[in-house]
A and B are shown apart, each in its own frame.
Chain A
Amino acid sequence: MKKEDRLEQRHPIEDLLRMDRIPHIWCPGCGIGTVVTSFAEALRKSEVDLDKIAVISGIGCTGRVAGYVKLDSIHTTHGRAVPVATGLKLANPELKVVVFSGDGDIAGIGGNHFIHAARRNMDIMIICVNNFNYAMTGGQVAATTPRDANASTAPYGNFEYPFSLPYLAEASGATYVARWTALHLRRVTKSMQEALGKRGFSFIEVITPCVTLYARRNRLGDGLNLLKYYYEKSEIQHGADTRTLDISYQGKLIVGKFVDIEKPTFLDCMNEHLGKVLGDKYQPYGVNND
């Protein structure tokens, strides 16, 4: 950038980004950058200690987030962000551990880890960016691709039923479940703030535009067209029954906060139960830090 063009002031998010790696690799019109901005805003607003937060990502477009945020971060193998986060949280219960990864990584290959971490009510926060396909590798069909949508490995249209991620999360035992689109900027930030301050397994699905792959293969236009679709078809229904949240191809998107309950976490249960059974012989773990 020419010296004359450099601004006197810096973008407020630059403190939270590894500016030596910007510009990022995401496509024009991709919503992941927007979700990262919402996340940065949520971190600022919730006044979380930036030294005590870790971002774990898997493989994929959203998986690159770990490399762009200036926090302790690990870019793990495909699908294994959730168990790495589990291990990290258990090793140091003081940390706030956030898994920031895509739908293919978390609910496809990582599906098993996702449901078990939710079952155990691990005290971690999952931000699942859902662009309805495996974008990084060229737009293959994913567990979240709506029926009839095109993908590179479903060139005649997808005939499989997709997951409803909030339903899956709630059924597995998550204590905070919300879904928004990337366009619901402030509500995404608010949900992230709530989840950052909450103990237990939090799951936030953010539906984002994928212009180069999902939109192109389905002739849906560009980022603006996809955002228009979110604007027209999304409907906020807080507390809706997660069984009714299926997304059909270009169909209605029900968004909102669906679950927000309190339940003892894995470490709470471990300490309580073993303390009861073993009495004085038990060495409590991580209790000072909760």
Chain B
Amino acid sequence: MVHFGDLKPKKGKIHIEKDRCKGCAFCVEYCPKDVLELSEEFNVKGYHPPIVKNEDDCLYCQLCETICPEFAIFVTLKKEEEEGEKGENRP
């Protein structure tokens, strides 16, 4: 029997290739947990790449990775040790 208490949402670690970004903001707009925002800084091409506002909210849905037309952002799965207490932070 499955205990719902043991199930946890996944957590993701976001990697951004800043200098590949062309500032289209698709990732910012479509992140379901509003984890990203456009930064104030310029990258080497003169665009504002995204930065992670709140990494703890990232669910590893990988939508930013899939929608980015520049292959400039991707998400890796955070391992359990990185997540903190087991089961405590379940929504």
Contacts and interface: CB of A to CB of B under 8 A. Distances in A.
A227 B15 CA distance: 24
Contact of A14 (B23, B25, B66, B71): B71
Contacts of A186: 66
B67 A185 contact: yes
A224 B74 CA distance: 20
A172 interface: no
A34 B22 contact: no
13 contacts: A11-B15, A11-B65, A12-B65, A24-B70, A26-B69, A28-B23, A33-B70, A34-B67, A37-B71, A183-B30, A185-B66, A223-B25, A224-B24
Interface of A: 1, 5, 7, 9, 11-14, 17, 22-24, 26-34, 37-38, 41, 183, 185-186, 189, 222-224, 227
Interface string B11-55: 000010111101111100110000000000000100100000000
A223 B22 CA distance: 11
A33 B71 contact: yes
A37 B65 contact: yes
A227 B20 contact: no
- Kindly name the residue among B63, B66, B68 whose own CB sees the greatest number of chain A CB atoms within 10 A: B66
B66 A22 contact: no
A5 B20 contact: no
Contacts of B30: 183, 227
